[in-house]
Amino acid sequence: MHAATLARPIEINSAPMVAPPGRGEEGHRPLTVYIAGNEIYGPGDEANGHYHIAFGAVRIYRLLADGRRQISAFHMAGESFGLEPGDRHQFFAEAVCATGLRKVRTLPALESMQGLLQLALEGMMRAQQHLLVVGRQNATERIGAFLLDMVERQGGLPQIELPMSRQDIGDYLGLTIETVSRTLSKLREKGVIKFHGLRSVEVCKPSLLEAICQ
């Protein structure tokens, strides 16, 4: 269930050929393509830099001994992830869907340091914001906050494509898959959202969604 690595990631050095439809900067670094479920790194793996997402999406998570999973973050195209203290990773990182990554090795220079600090602080901020959602909001509020976050991260357009499964959403929000499904159905019945496919959602009443999330 928790996605064993199904196939090896493919490394592509001739970047221009396979450049994703996104921005073409940083094209000189090799692009590695992962398919859905591929592990990018796991606890204990050497950590010597971070990753930039050319396209696709990544989940960062931890497991409890009995298999309970908490996804602490999703990262989308254009974002960076993978910076951790120490020289060993403490989390799992997996491709949520077909994903292209460029690895960025850490340079001990001042200006790159400032960028890394910014990255780390934003990561801390996101985690602490998410803590408020998971710790103090009910199922409807959590789903609402999640949808609004996705809208914002996909450019503000009301139509969003969710790369992740209901299980992923549940493990991110601290809910079960059934509760995620039920809550989405309730929002659909109320006309707040509309489905154009299981993972294609249109937020019809964003103001109502914002009101739900307080």
Residues near its own copies (CB under 8 A) are: 60, 62, 64-66, 68-70, 72-73, 83-85, 90-91, 108-110, 113-114, 116-118, 120-125, 127-132, 134-137, 173-174, 214
Q: Are 33 and 99 in contact (CB under 8 A)?
A: yes
Q: Per DSSP, what are the bridge partners of residue 50?
A: 104
By CB under 7 A, tell whether 178 contacts DNA: yes
Q: Which is nearer to its own copies, 57 or 173 (CB)?
A: 173
Q: Could you give the C-alpha distances from 172 to 48, 132, 169, 200, in angstroms and in order? A: 26, 13, 5, 18
Of 117, 108, 114, 34, nearest to 83 by C-alpha is 117
Spatial distance between the Cα atoms of 181 and 214, rounded to a whole number of angstroms: 22
Q: Which is nearer to DNA, 15 or 184 (CB)?
A: 184
Considering the complex, what minimum distance in angstroms separates the CB of residue 134 from DNA?
10
By CB under 7 A, tell whether 97 contacts DNA: no
Q: Are 96 and 36 in contact (CB under 8 A)?
A: yes
By CB under 7 A, tell whether 203 contacts DNA: no
Q: Which residues here bind DNA, judged by CB under 7 A?
A: 1, 138-140, 165-167, 174-182, 184-185, 195, 197-199
